Structure 1
Amino acid sequence: MKGFDVVIIGGGLSGSSTALNLSKKGYSVLVIEKEKNQAYKPCAGGMASSMQKFLPLDIKDSIESKIKNVEFRWKASDNVIADLTGESPFWIIKREKLDQLLLDESIRNGVQIISGLLVEKIRKKNDNWEVTCNNKNKYISKFLVIADGSQSKWAGYFNLGPRKPKFANTISLRLKGLGEIPRDAVRFEFGFIKYGFAWAFPLKESLNIGLGTFINNGHLENQAINNQVIRSFGFDDFSYKTINKKLRIWNGMHPINGEKILAVGDAASLCDPFLAEGIRPSLISSFYAAECIDHCLSGRLDDLNLYTKKINNDWGKSMAWGRRIAQVFYRFPRTGYQLGVKRKTAPKRIAQILSGEMSYEDIAKRVIRRLLTNSRI
């Protein structure tokens, strides 16, 4: 039985970045990941370049595209294009590369990583955590981080996040080539997907495509509609393989820490409920998780409650408005597109949200008022 300062359940983006941030501070860390390896990560890969400040390493090797334009369309027409300002404010990264960079750097800093192992039992013992895995090995830690993603078993078990999580249903795939998507642009396609939208994000030699529905438990089972979306991005080959996934989206401000335990990333229900952005909240929550654990281990804090307050303030306030926009926009999508996306200033505002320059709170009240007023006409 080996002891650590911190055990992290889950070795994805939020788990590996938390591990790296903690190891840079000199703590002993164990990461337990259930998957042995994953050749393809079902993630669009969009990331505000400003998020680099939350990572203690250079991630340039994982950047596939630097985005200059954001395209919006309604059923493959009615185009709107927004220019992103600044020096490469939005990147497309390859999640497989980014996750591996983080894990490799974590290992160089002394983090121990065990893959292909399931956590079967977690209990508190003598003010420490005892984690038992399916190989019957037990691991002891002072603090515990839950980072096992949208399908988290342990977040609910320890009452971290909403008692009844809300999920977006998504389909992800990657096609060779870029179709008709420019290398320096991302596209959002509205109108095909009920209660949601489709997106196309370019890598160097392939395209990450996603479809998502965000309210009313919508379904994505209609293959004809899926093929329409693929065709709208410039592809005629429909022999692709898809990955269906439920994304645990933000659904209110709830405690995401307990006594010597906290949740990060998707396990903490932080995914954007309007645009499905998950990388930014993963990196933000991982950074502040490491900060708060460091403060506790060094005697500057008695508990982790500051972590929940920080995430609710820095991320939750914006997401509260993002959820309201989503609930109205996806119920009245055509009206939303005409009065929201097609307004003169709207594309720029959405682009600024993607790049991290603005929050939903900055624009939400006016958008919702317009949508509600015109939907009753």
Structure 2
Amino acid sequence: MYDVIVVGAGPAGAATAYHLAKQGHSVLMLEKEALPRYKPCSGAVSPSVAELFDFDFAPAIARPMRRVRYTYKLGDPIEAELTTAAPIWMVNREVFDHFLVQQAQGQGAQLKHSTAVTAIENKGDYWQVSTPDETLDAAYLVAADGATGPMAQWLGFPELARRTASVLEVPAAVADNCAINFEFGLVKQGCAWNFPKAEGYSIGAVTFLGQAPADHRKVLDNYSQSFGVSLDAGTLYSHPLKLWDGNHPLHTHRAVLVGEAGAIVDPLSAEGIRPGMISGVRAAAAIDAALAGDADALANYTAAMHATWGEDMPWAKRIAGLFFRVPGIGYRVGIKRPTATQRLGQILAGEVRYADIAGRVMKRMSGGLLSG
């Protein structure tokens, strides 16, 4: 019997496995895909995640970026530099995720990939996990299988709403002076972006409010042409997002949710990698305590996530609700301010919370509505 089985080997699952294995626990990661595997994702990661680990992330980083460029309906461009201590990392998920898994393996965690979980059963003081080839037992279970995985439902958690994001991966020559690009105005009640990698672009779009289209093909076709590339030159992927929409339990009997399986995704920026890894680290600490006999450890994990990350997300949701309804005003009174990029970097780095800036942001937006 394993101490812990982690279902899903993305950043949240691998972070959980790494810290549990480091504490000397027997850990098995189960991943339905063959690793390394492509994951539709724009791949922007705050370097602040490095503080949670004791290894160098350099081999997993495709390109560090400081320059940011904003547009509104492809015009009125604004360029700025991030002022955080370290630049934002652009990563390819097939490289980044596999790197994290290898770090967990280096601590002693085991991996079975190309292995889907077909069922789970609560046996009282342990969980039984079925795969096509065998049945496995573990004292604790971690659901890290993302927005589309079945684990949360099997564990009895309520079904959560999903939104569709689209990502166009385009091979292209990328200049050294390229920027992280955000476009407001092309996507109704949402935004588009272009995140450069070492050998191409990840061009994406998502609708945050209201009814979203099945995909964003038309928008991405228009937006990609502004960078001299075409939709036909790349591969278009659509994937669901579970955005945070209110606090809910992240634990049940001998099991926890981490990452997007628990909707730990920013409802304003759609950032999921950093908060997912944070949830994995905290879940690992909770399971470590539970294995040592702390009966309240898993409940404390839910409470800690609610009191920190979850406490700030209502402010992110309120800003999103106002900004994406009137993006023209938001662009004029918010994005164009000299401090906007500084605040963006601080939010992504965890140096500033949405609660710290929400009052000023919403006051400016309301003033813009009145003056407009």
**TM-score tier after normalising by the smaller chain length:** over 0.9
* 1:146 aligned residue: 143
* 2:205 aligned residue: 211
* 1:346 aligned residue: 340
* 1:111 aligned residue: 109
Post-superposition offset of 1:81: 2.2
Give, in whole Å, the separation in 1 of the partners of 2:204 and 2:327: 18
* 2:324 matches 1:330: yes
Deviations 1:136-191 (A, max 9, x none): x111111110000011312133244xx342323111122112557834x3111111
| Counterpart residue type for residue 336 of structure 2 | K
C-alpha contact 2:6 2:144 (8 A) present in aligned 1 = yes
Deviations 1:35-59 (A, max 9, x none): 1245422121111111101224221
| Counterpart residue type for residue 144 of structure 2 | A
Q: Which moved more, 1:83-92 or 1:249-258?
A: 83-92
| Counterpart residue type for residue 79 of structure 1 | P
* 1:172 aligned residue: 167
Q: Secondary structure at the match of 1:357?
A: coil
Deviations 1:263-304 (A, max 9, x none): 000001011111111111111001001111111112345431
1:24 to 22, 25, 29: 22
* 1:5 aligned residue: 3
Q: After TM superposition, list the pairs within 5 Å mapping 1:159-198 onto structure 2.
A: 159-160=156-157, 163-178=158-173, 182-183=177-178, 185-198=179-192
Give, in whole Å, the separation in 1 of the partners of 2:354 and 2:368: 20
Give, in whole Å, the separation in 1 of the partners of 2:11 and 2:213: 27
C-alpha contact 1:175 1:208 (8 A) present in aligned 2 = yes
1:134 to 127, 132, 135: 132
Post-superposition offset of 1:222: 5.5
Post-superposition offset of 1:345: 2.6
Question: Which structure 1 segments of 5+ residues have no match?
Answer: none
Runs of at least 4 residues off by over 4 Å: 178-181
* 2:228 aligned residue: 234
Paired residues, what number? 371
Question: Which structure 2 segments of 5+ residues have no match?
Answer: none
C-alpha contact 2:70 2:182 (8 A) present in aligned 1 = yes
Q: Secondary structure at the match of 1:36?
A: coil
Post-superposition offset of 1:352: 2.1
Give, in whole Å, the separation in 1 of the partners of 2:140 and 2:329: 48
- Normalised by the size of structure 1, how large is the TM-score? 0.92
Q: Percent identity?
A: 35
Give, in whole Å, the separation in 1 of the partners of 2:212 and 2:176: 27
Q: After TM superposition, list the pairs within 5 Å mapping 1:52-67 onto structure 2.
A: 52-67=50-65
C-alpha contact 1:179 1:235 (8 A) present in aligned 2 = no
Deviations 1:59-85 (A, max 9, x none): 110112222222111122211223211
* 2:249 matches 1:224: no
| Counterpart residue type for residue 18 of structure 1 | T
C-alpha contact 1:180 1:234 (8 A) present in aligned 2 = no
* 2:269 matches 1:272: no
Q: Secondary structure at the match of 1:249?
A: coil
Deviations 1:291-318 (A, max 9, x none): 1111111234543111111111221122
2:297 to 280, 295, 303: 303
1:33 to 14, 31, 34: 31
